[in-house]
């Protein structure tokens, strides 16, 4: 294989190519009018998000020579495109592949062996490549010339403490093992060459900083901005598989991510990044971070956070700054969570065998409440499924409510879920609460920050000894009559009203 062919084989798509693709599909609008990154861009983008509208590319941003892209992952459809898929159902196929890698089982049939062989070949294709003349190094800025104010960071809400980076890949390395971590954390601009990074203590970057502190070392940090959205999805996937985020991205996209060595730190970044910020954190050097509007729909508090001192910025010619912002759904992060939900489903089924399906409603912040359907076979199974769910994957640690229903309930239809709760639950018997469990520090509902309760609701049909009386037979249409009505639907003069269509206004809420 020649060098050019090999490069094509491992080359990952970049942000620019994705923007071009969605523009060709009518899913990108270019805004040439002058706009302010302070509040105005977020206000425009938020209105577009509420309508499920296209991505936006602001080409005339006050105070910066660079363009700003936002709402790029504002619909599940565009996220599927970013992951080289056309339908959300394909996300579950990806989840099956990841589940097979996480808990491989000896194949019992030739067909299973062939399928596992295909997955292993996908892993080989997914290994990162190297680019020695990367586009992200086309312009290099160091020393006094470095000014982070040139990057058109936005301030989404009037009560926010300052400008922020939201969709940057924050890359660090374990000083003992050399294994990198790629996370998506919020950063606040503090000065022309410093920012604070806000990460939870359980995240990889925070663990790396603690290890560096124990050895009296500074922690090297690289921030990659404006990368292929597929890589962002890989970095936002906290699935417990012993694979790097780069390999994850390669598995997601079907080919390896091209990486490049940073100029001043011993880290690697996607070669096609629009911007790369290189710096260090001195353990113990902190500054107040926040408040900022967060995904709960409120302003968070002020927290002392690690200070990153940047000494080098590299970028492509005419770079594009990719951003987003948090808040009450719908937001881009909620769309990402919906897509990840589909990927998690096969993995969750593999870990908790009784689970048929599960759903994290966007209105419940995409992780605060989970609805699980099970194929109930024995008493107490719903409670077991809820407890297993909380420990199945790290991101479910902060799920406050788990509702378990029977497999015949459509968990994505709020009418059916509410019916199951109200018709099958005795609060004394079927609601259980776990007190004082780890809690999201951004959740103000708990009495103590970082510590709160979880509730499980068993909304399944009860069987002995859960109940000592017979359950009523469910109401169902007569099968013959239902079939006849379906055949004669057009004859009734109702052909324009498709069977199964429901006017959401009849119920006082928007089902979509």
Positions marked catalytic: 294
Cβ(230)–Cβ(247) below 8 Å: no
The beta-carbon contacts of 410-419 under 8 Å, at least 24 apart in sequence, are 411/357, 411/358, 411/359, 411/371, 411/372, 411/373, 412/359, 413/511, 414/361, 414/509, 414/511, 415/507, 417/371, 417/459
Closest by CA to 420, choosing from 429, 411, 431, 433, is 411
- The DSSP output letter for 507 is G
Cβ(48)–Cβ(54) below 8 Å: yes
Q: From CA 204, how far away is CA 225, in angstroms rounded? A: 19
Strand partners of residue 270 = 259
Cβ(408)–Cβ(414) below 8 Å: no
- Residue 442 to residues 114, 203, 401, 487: CA-CA distances in angstroms? 46, 15, 16, 54
Strand partners of residue 58 = 31, 68
Mention every residue, 6+ apart, whose C-beta is less than 8 A from residue 160.
291, 292, 293, 299
């Amino acid at each position: 294989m020649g060098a050019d062919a090999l490069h094509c084989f491992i080359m990952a798509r970049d942000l620019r190519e994705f923007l071009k693709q969605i523009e060709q599909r009518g899913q990108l609008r270019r805004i040439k009018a002058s706009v302010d990154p302070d509040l105005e861009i977020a206000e425009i983008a938020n209105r577009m998000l509420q309508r499920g509208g296209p991505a936006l590319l602001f080409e005339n941003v006050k105070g910066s020579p660079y363009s700003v892209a936002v709402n790029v992952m504002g619909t599940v459809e565009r996220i599927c495109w970013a992951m080289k898929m056309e339908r959300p159902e394909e996300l579950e196929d990806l989840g099956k592949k990841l589940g097979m890698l996480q808990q491989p089982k000896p194949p019992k049939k030739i067909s299973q062996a062939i399928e596992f062989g295909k997955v292993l070949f996908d892993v080989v294709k997914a290994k990162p490549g190297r680019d020695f003349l990367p586009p992200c190094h086309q312009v290099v800025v160091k020393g006094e010339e470095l000014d982070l104010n040139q990057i058109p960071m936005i301030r989404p809400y009037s009560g926010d403490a300052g400008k922020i980076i939201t969709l940057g890949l924050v890359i660090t390395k374990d000083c003992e093992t050399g294994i990198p971590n790629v996370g998506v954390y919020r950063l606040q601009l503090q000065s022309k060459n410093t920012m604070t990074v806000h990460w939870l203590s359980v995240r990889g970057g925070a663990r790396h900083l603690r290890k560096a502190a124990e050895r009296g070392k500074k922690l090297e940090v690289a921030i990659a901005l404006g990368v292929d959205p597929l890589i962002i999805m890989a970095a936002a996937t906290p699935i417990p598989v012993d694979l790097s985020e780069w390999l994850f991205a390669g598995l997601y996209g079907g080919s390896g991510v091209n990486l490049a060595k940073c100029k001043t730190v011993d880290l690697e970044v996607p070669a096609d990044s629009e911007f790369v910020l290189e710096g260090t954190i001195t353990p113990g050097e902190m500054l107040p971070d926040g408040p900022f509007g967060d995904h709960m729909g409120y302003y968070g508090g002020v927290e002392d956070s690690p200070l990153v001192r940047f000494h080098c910025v590299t970028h492509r010619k005419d770079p594009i700054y990719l951003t987003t912002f948090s808040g009450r759904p719908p937001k881009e992060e909620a769309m990402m969570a919906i897509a990840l939900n589909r990927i998690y489903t096969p993995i969750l089924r593999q870990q908790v065998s009784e689970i048929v399906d599960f759903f994290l409603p966007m209105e419940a912040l995409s992780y605060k409440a989970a609805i699980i359907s099970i194929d109930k076979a024995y008493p107490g199974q719903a409670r077991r499924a809820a407890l297993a769910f909380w420990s199945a994957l790290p991101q479910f640690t902060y799920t406050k409510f788990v509702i378990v229903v029977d497999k015949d309930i459509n968990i994505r239809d709020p009418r059916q879920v509410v019916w199951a709760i109200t018709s099958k639950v005795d609060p004394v018997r079927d609601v259980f609460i776990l007190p004082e469990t780890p809690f999201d520090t951004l959740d103000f509902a708990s009495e103590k920050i970082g510590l709160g309760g979880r509730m499980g609701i068993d909304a399944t049909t009860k069987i002995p000894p859960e109940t000592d009386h017979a359950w009523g037979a469910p109401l169902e249409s007569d099968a013959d009559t239902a079939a006849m009505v379906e055949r004669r639907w057009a004859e009734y003069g109702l052909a324009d009203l498709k069977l199964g269509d429901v006017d959401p206004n009849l119920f006082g809420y928007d089902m979509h």
